[in-house]
Chain A
Amino acid sequence: MSSIKPFSKLPQLNTANVLLVENEGKLQNDLADAIVQQENNVNVTVRLARGLPLPAENEENRPRIDLVVFIVHLSSELSLVSTENSLKQLDTGYFLGKVCFLVTGARCGLVPDERLVSLRKLAGSLHCPLLFAEDQTREGVSTAAQRVLKILRVSAGLVPMVTGLYLSSLTRCTVPLDSDGSVQD
């Protein structure tokens, strides 16, 4: 088991690396394909993981990770629980603008509200942005890839004058004020 750190390795020129963490492995592959296809100017590398910590054998050839994306399916409680467990293994340096959450299934009426509320609380307390995505359609996946890429470019330092911490302080999810779930952004 090895833990990743945001600044333990040297960056490479014109390169951005993103780590997608998802317990089920449903959306990961499609999203990775979409991200790699959409970006032509920058060399984007996508690493897929089922959870943190990452296995130790890939330690040497793993590049510096610029952004960690946690994919959470609201339809499954396990997805949320495993994300919470993975978060505990993540280095604190990442929370300065190098983590975001991607939520799917938020439109489904059958999903209990509490999961989304607890996820918003989690994202709010960590000062991380929360993205919503549609995982069933092609367009939804490509839109999600676009949004992830936008954040990735900033957090990899490819956009002049903007840093991940600065962007994250603008786009972060705020903690819901009431306990009954009424949410303000």
Chain B
Amino acid sequence: MDAAAEALLRQTVRRIPSSKLNGVLGRWGCLSEAQLGSLESMQPKWLLCDNLISLCRENDLSMKHVAEVEMLYCIENPKRGMWYAYQMVETDDEAQSLELMHFRERFKAHLKDLIGHVSIKLKRHQDESVWIRIAWGDNFNRPNHLKPTYVMHHLQTPYVFVSGLTNKHKPLLFQALVLAAGYSSIKNAHLNGRCITALRDLLMRQYKQVFPSSCPKPLKESNPLPNPNIENEHAKLVEHKQRAAAEAFGYEDPPKLERATYKLETKYREHGNESLNGRDEPFRGVVKFTSSNLLESLKYCITSGMASTPLTPLLSSITQKGRNYFVIRDKGPSIASDTLGPDH
């Protein structure tokens, strides 16, 4: 057990809350029952850390094992940074029948071909997702385990979710991924957020959706015992707005996104203002919507009447296209410039 492994173990233990620590170490499986029992979770973290390191020394554990405990915790609690979605395109037939062992071998071989000093770990989670942890090094340094890159991928789907990736390592990772999964290229899906399950649900359409229909069923019983003394004059309107909101952003708990960005490149059009009309360069502007749960906020805007219905396609395409970054360009002189919905 060297200094780097110790540093990683300390960092990991610091990050895990005391209540979860015992469970994580139990699933890790590198310590015996007796050793686990000797660790008291009531101890202060630094003392517990020292005891844990001495136990690891006893068992002769190395960096490989310590990286495993970090990965275990990260898979179960993936809310530690921004996740970015990418989409692989142009599949060949092989990708449909790829299995994990094959993918693992090919990915490791391709990445090791590209860069010498790299440490890769692959793991399959309970929900069939494949998690990859990569610690990058270069010609002169050993892999830096303190800042690993995490990749989440479902086999047989084109989507890849990446966190903690630097620009320097981007081409290497993408080349290895594309070759291993049997695709020909990869592109940015323009979707990011802190909650990886939300991103996955949005792209794979796994959230509770409501589809437009000609004979709508009531969404839910709003009140099981309606008071006969209270009556809503606009019950139909409220129902209609709730339906419109659910159709746009999903029923009950929409996926949790933090932001949506719209880049505008529009031209000024009005008669009589030649100095602005004649510009070749478009006007550039950025509109950002941020919230701790953006789709829920947008839903509320509709139900409370702050946004008009039918909703502008610019907002509803967040869920329809599974993106939260858009560039709006002026196509030509015949098309009027796009306008955004109400700001809030």
CB within 8 Å of B: which residues of A?
A: 19, 23-26, 29, 32-33, 36, 43-51, 54-55, 58, 62, 76, 78, 82
Give 27 pairs: A residue, B residue, CB < 8 Å, sorted on A. A19-B233, A23-B304, A25-B238, A32-B227, A32-B230, A33-B227, A33-B230, A36-B227, A43-B229, A44-B229, A45-B231, A46-B231, A47-B230, A47-B232, A47-B233, A48-B230, A48-B231, A48-B232, A48-B233, A49-B234, A50-B238, A50-B305, A51-B234, A55-B236, A58-B233, A62-B233, A78-B305
Main secondary structure of the interface of A (DSSP, over half): mixed
A50 x B237 contact (CB < 8 A): yes
Verify if B303 is at the interface (C-beta below 8 Å from A).
yes
CB-defined contacts of B229 to chain A, threshold 8 Å: 36, 43-46
Task: Tell me the smallest distance from the CB of B267 to a CB of chain A, in Å.
Answer: 30
A50 to B236, CA, bound (A): 11
CB-defined contacts of B306 to chain A, threshold 8 Å: 24, 76, 78
Task: Tell me the smallest distance from the CB of B343 to a CB of chain A, in Å.
Answer: 12
> CB within 8 Å of A: which of B102-149?
none
| Chain B: CB-nearest residue to A61 | B231
Task: Tell me the smallest distance from the CB of A149 to a CB of chain B, in Å.
Answer: 13
CB-defined contacts of A48 to chain B, threshold 8 Å: 230-234
A82 to B304, CA, bound (A): 12
A47 to B230, CA, bound (A): 6
| Chain B: CB-nearest residue to A39 | B229
A36 to B231, CA, bound (A): 12
> B230, B232, B236: which contacts A36 (Cβ < 8 A)?
B230
A19 to B232, CA, bound (A): 10
A51 to B232, CA, bound (A): 11
> CB within 8 Å of A: which of B246-305?
303-305
> A25, A47, A54: which contacts B304 (Cβ < 8 A)?
A25
CB-defined contacts of B238 to chain A, threshold 8 Å: 25, 50
| Chain B: CB-nearest residue to A73 | B304
Question: Which residue of B237, B238, B304 has the most chain A CB atoms within 10 A of its CB atom?
Answer: B304
> A23, A24, A46, A76: which contacts B230 (Cβ < 8 A)?
A46
CB-defined contacts of A36 to chain B, threshold 8 Å: 227, 229-230
Question: Which residue of B227, B231, B238, B303 has the most chain A CB atoms within 10 A of its CB atom?
Answer: B231
Indicate with 1 or 0, residue by residue over B218-248, a CB within 8 angstroms of chain A CB atoms: 0000000001011111101110000000000
B227 x A50 contact (CB < 8 A): no
B305 x A24 contact (CB < 8 A): yes
Question: Which residue of B227, B229, B234, B303 has the most chain A CB atoms within 10 A of its CB atom?
Answer: B229
CB-defined contacts of B227 to chain A, threshold 8 Å: 32-33, 36
CB-defined contacts of A62 to chain B, threshold 8 Å: 233
CB-defined contacts of A55 to chain B, threshold 8 Å: 233-234, 236-237
A50 x B230 contact (CB < 8 A): no
A49 to B234, CA, bound (A): 6
Task: Tell me the smallest distance from the CB of B80 to a CB of chain A, in Å.
Answer: 32
A58 to B306, CA, bound (A): 25
> CB within 8 Å of A: which of B179-230?
227, 229-230
A78 to B307, CA, bound (A): 11
A51 to B305, CA, bound (A): 11
A24 to B238, CA, bound (A): 10
A23 to B227, CA, bound (A): 21
CB-defined contacts of A82 to chain B, threshold 8 Å: 305
